[in-house]
Structure 1
Amino acid sequence: MSKTDHGVAPADVAVNMQRAVANDPQHNTRRDFLRAAGLTGAALALAGCTNDAMLFAPAGPSRAVVGTDGSITLNFALDIDVLNYAYALEQLEAAFYVNVVTNAAFASIFAANEQRVLRDVRDHEVVHRDFLAAALGSARIPNLTPNFSGVNFASRSSVLTTARTFEDLGVSAYNGAARYLTNTDFLVVAGKIVSVEARHAAAIRDLLNNRSGDFAPSAFDDANTPNTVLAAADPFIVESITAINT
């Protein structure tokens, strides 16, 4: 049986993601599972996430068009390409936080409690990325090439300001894309992800301006259009991504 480049067989993923998972929250917390599993596979990581009962596997092919120059056009008339949109953004966020926590300056520019926060955010983003990759299977878009040349990973301010940009952008992306999803199961899972992204946004904002109103500057988060989000993300991605039927 063929496997994805994440080491998970597509058929197995489809079975796993169609089953309800009932785990004891007292014995299998998200953080404990991530530490034990080492984030080795999306299906395994999700199986360890407490109360994740609505897992899914998209059906049908993607209509994303990948050009010879690596450019990607996503067709928002299909749920599967709305999920590819989310996958593109989760790739970017995961790559950013992996760079943050592996940079040589990480331990010197962040206090121990801040390091824990950023590692937890990294873990969540990796799970989001791998979950969507496994769910999409062969219909997923190619791996993207991040461009972090404008980020100084040895600067606390540069890292946190960029993190705030990514988290706010991610929240606005999920909020704005919800209207295009026709499958309610997909919508529920997207809601589960965006709520975590909003927690990330609040945590990052608190690191930047502790104990202030910046943690949630508005009673309603933005819901940006796909092309607005992609334009904002473009400087951080080598490949060009556009959306049609939005």
Structure 2
Amino acid sequence: MSERILDEVVKASPNRRKFLATLGTATAAVSAMALASPREAEAQTSSPTATEIAVLNFALNLEYLEAEFYTYGQYGYGIEQAGLKVSGVAYGANPPGGGTTTGGAKVTFSNNLVFTGPITSEIGVDERAHVTLLQSFLGSAAIAKPNINLTALGFGFGNQNEYLQLARIFEDVGVTAYGGAAYLLTTPIVIQTAARILAVEALHVGSLHTQIARLNVPSPVLDGADLVPPPTGPQNQYLPVNTANGLPALRSVPQVLALAYGGAGLTQGGFFPSGINGAFYGTASSAPATAANLQTIPPGFAPAPA
């Protein structure tokens, strides 16, 4: 992890010692490559680094959340009942056998004008696949599903419009989270796979924005970097892209946690009542993202090229 970002995250965390110990353990495992035979070392060069393990596990928290949301909306039960593995490394009050999910319910899709039922069902297939894919990359380092509250915002499953509102939030945050962490990845196969997941999340975003605009569904604005579709947003902009540079926003881990936990300076709450799992457990949420996150090179992310 870049020194600047690592220092920022550790300083923001009330559990600095545990964060450093966790990351240090992963670093030691990666450093052991230096003692391996040439053939063994070559076989390990496609494995995630310690930094990537932390980033991929952070992403896995979000994928668990999305997968639970879509699975409950379609079937009325969660991903464990759908056959997915939910056990793994756990922190705090999150159990290693997989956390409890509250608030989910099956949704009635009353208006099929823009294929909301079939499309969100397809998105659910994708999100469950992302959980399994990240688990396979992480192996024994994969985190367990944390405790999740799907109705942390007070809506989501009451009707089709609520479901679209929350789906839009999850997918937009997912795009900005993957984009925000991209420069911390160094292993080619990890970079390539993360880019492909980001592409899928972006496809989801485009579809959901179009549905919301067509059905005239209001969209709560998350923060200063959130570009919402009509009718809430500008009437002539349907996609969450800064038209000045053709790019979406980026959000850092603490900025994503500000949305996940429901405010700044928090280490749990909102969608993750016991906090997230992984090396970023105990990291405090920051102030929300601003319009500066839509710049070509937002402050606090990768430095400008020399």
In which range does the TM-score fall when normalised by the shorter chain? Answer: 0.5 to 0.7
| 2:198 aligned counterpart, secondary structure | helix
Identity %, equivalent residues: 30
Amino acid across the alignment from 2:274: E
Residues 102 and 57 (structure 1 numbering): CA distance in 2 closer, same or farther, change over 3 Å?
farther
**Match of residue 265 from structure 2:** none
The letter for the 2-side match of 1:228 is: Q
> Who is 1:236 aligned against?
271
Match in the other structure for 1:126:
128
1:188 aligns with 2:192: yes
Tell me, what secondary structure is at the counterpart of 2:214?
A: coil
Q: How far is 1:171 from its partner?
A: 0.2
Give 1:154 deviation, angstroms. Answer: 2.4
Describe the shift of the 1:131–1:194 C-alpha distance in structure 2 as closer, same or farther (beyond 3 A).
same
Unaligned runs of 5+ in 1: 1-55, 61-76
Contact 1:172 1:223 in 2 (8 A): yes
Whether the 8 Å CA contact 1:147–1:237 is kept in 2: the answer is yes
Q: 1:82 aligns with which of 43, 50, 55?
A: 55
Cα deviation code 1:89-118 (max 9, x no counterpart):
111110111111124763443427221101
**Which structure is larger by alpha-carbon Rg, 1 or 2?**
2
Shift of 1:240: 1.4
Structure 2's unaligned 5+ residue stretches are 1-44, 77-104, 216-235, 262-269, 284-300, 302-306
CA distance in 2, matches of 1:57, 1:129: 20
1:58-207 alignment runs, 5 A limit: 58=47, 78-103=51-76, 106-111=107-112, 113-149=115-151, 150-207=154-211
In 1, the alpha carbon distance for the partners of 2:189 and 2:106 equals 41
Tell me the alpha carbon deviations over residues 178-227 of structure 1, each in whole angstroms, 9 at most, x when there is no partner. Answer: 01112122111110000110010111111110296313443211111111
Residue 126 (structure 1) shift: 0.4
CA RMSD of aligned residues (A): 2.5
How far, CA to CA, are the matches of 2:187 and 2:143 in structure 1? 20
Q: What amino acid maps onto 1:162 in structure 2?
A: L
Partners of 1:227 and 1:59 lie apart in 2 by 22
Mapped contact 1:93–1:125 kept (Cα < 8 A): yes
Q: Name which of 232, 237, 243 aligns with 1:213.
A: 237
For 1:186, the aligned partner's letter is V
Cα distance in 1 between the residues matched to 2:47 and 2:274: 24
Matched AA of 2:63: E
Give 3-state SS (helix, strand or coil) of 1:222's partner: coil
**Which structure has more helix as a fraction of its residues?**
1
Contact persistence 1:181–1:187 (CA under 8 A): yes
TM-score using structure 2 length: 0.52
Q: Go from structure 1 to structure 2 and tell me whether the alpha carbon gap of 1:193 and 1:105 turns closer, same or farther (over 3 Å shift).
A: closer
Question: Quick one: which amino acid aligns to residue 223 of structure 1?
Answer: L
The normalised TM-score by structure 1 is 0.64
**1:222 counterpart (239, 244, 249):** 249
1:13-34 CA deviation, whole Å, 9 max, x = no partner?
xxxxxxxxxxxxxxxxxxxxxx
SS at match of 1:221: coil
Q: How many residue pairs get matched?
A: 174
Distance 1:239 1:58, change over 3 A: farther
Q: Deviations over 1:48-76 (max 9, x none)?
A: xxxxxxxx97357xxxxxxxxxxxxxxxx
| SS at 1:109 equivalent | coil
SS of structure 2 residue aligned to 1:144: coil
